Amino acid sequence: MGFADAWYDGGVTFEGVEAKRCDRRKDLLAGLRSRQFIPILPGGFDEVTARWPWDVIIDARAVDARVGQLSMELAGMTIGIGAGFIAGLTCHMVIDTRARDPGAVLRDGCMGPALARDDPYADGMFVRSAKDGAFHVARFIGETVAQGDILGFMATRAIEAPAAGRLRGLARDGATLEKDAPVAEIAAPKAEVTGICLRDRLVARSVAFVIEVERGGWEPISLEALFSKP
């Protein structure tokens, strides 16, 4: 999500890392070979995953954004981030995003139920569009809002904040959205709203570590099996 503006503007830099939109095959290959920027590919998930052979696919889409489910047949290693994935059935591994252990690697089964909303790692509250149309912003990411404050407009209809907090996400001004699409994300007043939050850092480090372990052929250690030995 931090690199989403590259889709519209052609490129963006986030926390010192550059991403560029790649509409041509040679641009994608240049990014992969040079490792100087992250290639952002236009097209849907199914189209992109079927177009090229991938060594690793990490599905970090929001639950309501997944039209199709991840399949282990798509790549040599498939990793599902968060709820809705089943390790050993729809993907090879699931990375837990819950507060009790963000970044935990599940090699069998799926995440349990979500925790309470007052969890310090919990996702923000999404504000959704009431109808189809173009969204026009009235606020900026990082601003503090009170309940009832106007966040933007869908045509002449005002979109109000359902709770007080800080804006951690906001749809792009002028974006055409469908009904029920998220237009804003409100986080707790003291929550992190810029850069990568602690939970996401733990999840990202876990993903990188899992890939390194698997590609290196290392045998994962099970603490449960270790302590159950006589």
Q: Tens digits of per-residue pLDDT, 173-218?
A: 998 998 888 899 998 887 777 778 788 889 999 999 999 988 887 7
Q: What is the pLDDT of residue 61?
A: 83
Contact 94, 87 (CB under 8 A): yes
Cα gap 88→109, rounded to integer Å: 7
Q: What is the pLDDT of residue 227?
A: 54
The reply to whether 10 and 108 lie within a common domain is no
* Beta bridge partner(s), residue 145: 165
Is residue 81 one of the residues assigned to a domain? yes
Residue 222 has pLDDT above 70, yes or no: no
Write out the H or E segment, with its range, that includes residue 98: none
Is residue 48 one of the residues assigned to a domain? no
* Beta bridge partner(s), residue 134: 176
Is residue 209 one of the residues assigned to a domain? yes
CATH code for position 159: 2.40.50.100
Contact 70, 86 (CB under 8 A): no
Domain of residue 145 covers 125-187
Cα gap 50→149, rounded to integer Å: 44
Name the region of 199 (left: φ>0; alpha: ψ -120 to 50; beta: rest): alpha
CA distances from 220 to 22, 69, 81, 92, 214 (A): 36, 26, 19, 14, 9
The helix/strand/coil state of 61 is coil
* Beta bridge partner(s), residue 17: 14
Token pair in block for residue 44: 């849907």
Cα gap 145→158, rounded to integer Å: 15
Is residue 50 one of the residues assigned to a domain? no
Average pLDDT estimate for 19-46: 89
The 8-class DSSP code of residue 109 comes to: B
Kindly report, residue by residue over 63-102, the tens digit of the pLDDT. 766 766 788 888 999 999 988 899 999 899 999 988 778 8
Contact 113, 159 (CB under 8 A): no
The reply to whether 66 and 95 lie within a common domain is yes
Domain count, the chain: 3
Q: What is the pLDDT of residue 215?
A: 83
The reply to whether 60 and 23 lie within a common domain is no
65 or 172, higher pLDDT: 172
Cβ neighbourhood burial of 152 (10 Å; 0-12, 13-18, 19+): buried
The reply to whether 147 and 201 lie within a common domain is no
Cα gap 104→209, rounded to integer Å: 11
Residue 228 has pLDDT above 90, yes or no: no
Q: What is the pLDDT of residue 229?
A: 56
Is residue 47 one of the residues assigned to a domain? no
Q: What is the pLDDT of residue 120?
A: 46
The 8-class DSSP code of residue 64 comes to: G
Is residue 49 one of the residues assigned to a domain? no
Q: What is the pLDDT of residue 155?
A: 84
What are the residues whose beta carbons fall under 8 Å from the beta carbon of 150, sequence distance 6 or more?
A: 138, 139, 158, 159, 160, 161
Q: What is the pLDDT of residue 221?
A: 60
The reply to whether 111 and 203 lie within a common domain is yes
The reply to whether 211 and 229 lie within a common domain is yes
The reply to whether 68 and 113 lie within a common domain is yes
Is residue 216 one of the residues assigned to a domain? yes
Kindly report, residue by residue over 121-155, the tens digit of the pLDDT. 466 788 999 889 999 999 998 899 999 999 999 98
Contact 38, 57 (CB under 8 A): no
Q: What is the pLDDT of residue 67?
A: 62
The reply to whether 61 and 34 lie within a common domain is no
Q: What is the pTM assigned to this prediction?
A: 0.76
The reply to whether 174 and 203 lie within a common domain is no
Residue 226 has pLDDT above 80, yes or no: no
Cβ neighbourhood burial of 117 (10 Å; 0-12, 13-18, 19+): exposed
Q: What is the pLDDT of residue 58?
A: 93
The reply to whether 145 and 31 lie within a common domain is no
Q: What is the pLDDT of residue 43?
A: 80
The reply to whether 74 and 177 lie within a common domain is no
Is residue 206 one of the residues assigned to a domain? yes
The reply to whether 31 and 144 lie within a common domain is no
Residue 118 has pLDDT above 50, yes or no: no
Q: What is the pLDDT of residue 71?
A: 85
Residue that the structure tokens 């954004």 belong to: 65
